[in-house]
Structure 1
Amino acid sequence: MKAIVMQNYGGPEVFEEQDIAVPNIKETQVLVEMYATTVSSADELIRSGAFQHVFSVQFPHVLGVELAGVVKEIGEKVTYVKVGDPIMGLARNGGGYADYVVLEESALTIIPPTISFLEAAALTASGLTAWQSLFQYGKLQPGQRILIHAGAGGVGHIAVQLAKQHGAYVIATARGHNHEFVRNLGADEVIDYTTTDFAKAISPVDIVLDMVRDKIVELDTGIGETERKNYTVLKDSGKLISLVAPSIADHPQIRGIEAQFAYIMPNHKDLTAIIHSVEEQKLKVHLDGLFPFTVEGIADAHRQNEADPKRGKLVIQRKAHC
């Protein structure tokens, strides 16, 4: 089968096409023909080598954690799906940049006929990340104040919607030209982080959802400027949920603030809840770009993902009209 692999850590130029064997499935797994996948933050962090201390890979490695497609084979203990079902799922160890992908049955859900494969692929990791960050790690309650960084991004634009629907007061950061987009998602306040110091612009919040990778961090603590400011805007005993700093929970506790790195675990219940929210038109995923399933297409998608600004998700399409 065709796969777009990375041979080393580095920039978008590391990709090349290879012919590799179709993977075998275990009794709890499903073989899926990939129709659409994405560029996620996880893909970018792994490709660049930034996360090699957390998640090391063997080369050649196939990226792609989010995908949608059609079930081609099921394991003996699989009961939820059957061959031919359209599904979306999360491949925690990658594999989406290939014709066929193996998923655990617990890491997928069926796509309703009203939702396209492109939308479904864009929802998987971003939707799970937003959902679990807010409700599992943050334990968000109606009436609480939350600051969501990168409110126009893949995770951020979903988190803004979910938090607002849950009854929270939502403050988001975004570039100026994205303010209308983020307000339309439900944000009560939007701050242009390129011109305004968010730490001086908002009243204290109960929760911060941080997706900002500081380019400069302290060598001894690993803390950057954004993370330090996050602490200043949090109430005593608030919650700081990071998607970019795995070691954050090891830092000395400040004012009773609970700092956690959100390790996202795919499960059928959360995925189904997310897809039902879309089906009921309570949640919308924004597709910011569509790229072909080629070396050049995937490299271009990664380049655009690294460039600012973005709105929503970038999708890689293998099957036309999906």
Structure 2
Amino acid sequence: MKAIVLKEYGIPAVLQEQEIDVPVITETQVLVEMYAASINPADSVLRSGAVKDILPVQLPYVLGADLAGVVIEVGSKVTHLKPGDRVMGIPTNNGGAYADYVAMEENALAIIQPDMSFNEAAALPTVGLTAWQSLFRYGKLQPGQRILIHAGAGGVGHIAVQLAKQAGEYVIATAREFNHEFVRQLGADEVIDYTTTDFTKAISSPVDIVLDMVMDRSATVLDAKIGETGRKSYSVLKDGGKLISLVAMEINEHPQIRGIEAQFVHAEPNHDDLVSILQNVHEQKLKVHLSGIFPFTSQGLAEAYRRCETNPKMGKVVIQRKQG
């Protein structure tokens, strides 16, 4: 089968097409034919080699942390899926989506509705789970709270803004000026241009929760420490508030300030959470925005990465292998 593999770390052009074996599934796994996949910031970080010393992968390696497609084969202990089901989810070991066929655990998959496209479904698993678990599992949102969501126009951010607003929050988001109207349409009550305005001075009253996904220069991937955006976020939080970081892996060890609970979050594949996210989409309470669709070729994938890494985007970039 065809896969697009990482044979050496570097710029997007290092990705190459290669024939590899079709995965052999275990009794708890499902073999999925990939119709569409998407790009997440973690894919870019892995590809660049920036975390090879702390998160090494064995090269050649197939990137891609989420996909949508059709079930081809199921293991003997799989109970809820069957061949022919249209599904979305996160591949085993959080990688491997850029291939014709992908082995996935049943618990990391959910059936998508007939009226949902594979492209939309492929864009949802990682950002949907990250936003959902950050807000509801760790943030424990309560109606009427105030929340600051950094990077509100991005993949996780644009989902988090919608979910937080539906939960009854007062939503403040940061975004570049040209994305303000987009973020307001998602439901944000206030939008701050972080390139021209200090958000700590623009927020008039303290917030209950901050969702930080900004990997600024003061917090490199290698040191995994809290950066300037995270540090400044403390000043806008209420005593006893919550700072949820998607970028600072060591934030849990940061000295507690004013009783603020700091938590690093990494999305965990979970069938029930995926079903809840899909139900919100089906009820038209949640919409994933696609900022670009690229073909499943090495050139197409490289162009998609360049789009993500050089141009601020709204929502997600998708790789399309097959229509259906």
Shorter-normalised TM range: over 0.9
Structure 1's 257 and 301: CA in aligned 2 closer, same or farther, altered over 3 A?
same
Moved more, 211-220 or 180-189: 211-220
In the alignment, what sits opposite 1:315? 318
1:3-58 Cα offsets, whole Å, 9 max, x none, are 10111222212211111000100000000000000011221122123343553210
Retained in 1: the 8 A contact 2:224–2:249?
A: no
Deviation at 1:172, TM superposition (A): 0.3
After TM superposition, the structure 1 = structure 2 runs for residues 78-97 of structure 1, keeping only pairs within 5 Å, are 78-91=78-91, 92-97=93-98
Runs of 4+ in 1 over 6 A off after TM superposition: 218-221
In the alignment, what sits opposite 1:173? 174
After TM superposition, the structure 1 = structure 2 runs for residues 215-226 of structure 1, keeping only pairs within 5 Å, are 215-217=217-219, 222-226=225-229
Moved more, 6-15 or 82-91: 6-15
In the alignment, what sits opposite 2:262? 259
In the alignment, what sits opposite 1:102? 103
Moved more, 1-10 or 52-61: 52-61
TM-score (ref. length: structure 1) = 0.96
In the alignment, what sits opposite 2:117? 116
Taking every aligned residue pair, what percent have the same amino acid on both sides? 69
How many residues align? The count is 321
1:303 paired with 2:306, answer yes
In the alignment, what sits opposite 1:196? 197
Counterpart CA distance in 2 for 1:124 and 1:71 is: 16
Deviation at 1:221, TM superposition (A): 8.7
Specify the SS of the correspondent of 1:88: strand
Structure 1's 79 and 7: CA in aligned 2 closer, same or farther, altered over 3 A?
same
Counterpart CA distance in 1 for 2:226 and 2:260 is: 15
Counterpart CA distance in 2 for 1:278 and 1:50 is: 35
Deviation at 1:223, TM superposition (A): 3.1
AA aligned to 1:214 is D
Name structure 1 gaps, 5 residues minimum: none
Retained in 2: the 8 A contact 1:221–1:251?
A: no
Name structure 2 gaps, 5 residues minimum: none
Specify the SS of the correspondent of 1:146: strand
Structure 1's 75 and 279: CA in aligned 2 closer, same or farther, altered over 3 A?
same
1:227 pairs with one of 227, 230, 238: 230
Counterpart CA distance in 1 for 2:13 and 2:258 is: 45
Specify the SS of the correspondent of 2:124: helix
AA aligned to 2:122 is A
Counterpart CA distance in 1 for 2:22 and 2:30 is: 12
AA aligned to 1:239 is K
1:62 paired with 2:62, answer yes
Retained in 2: the 8 A contact 1:130–1:156?
A: yes
In the alignment, what sits opposite 1:210? 212
TM-score (ref. length: structure 2) = 0.96
Specify the SS of the correspondent of 2:155: coil
AA aligned to 1:15 is L
Deviation at 1:157, TM superposition (A): 0.4
Specify the SS of the correspondent of 1:155: helix
Specify the SS of the correspondent of 2:238: strand
RMSD: 1.5
AA aligned to 1:241 is I
Counterpart CA distance in 1 for 2:94 and 2:153 is: 26
1:161-190 Cα offsets, whole Å, 9 max, x none, are 000000011000011111111001000000
Structure 1's 196 and 266: CA in aligned 2 closer, same or farther, altered over 3 A?
same
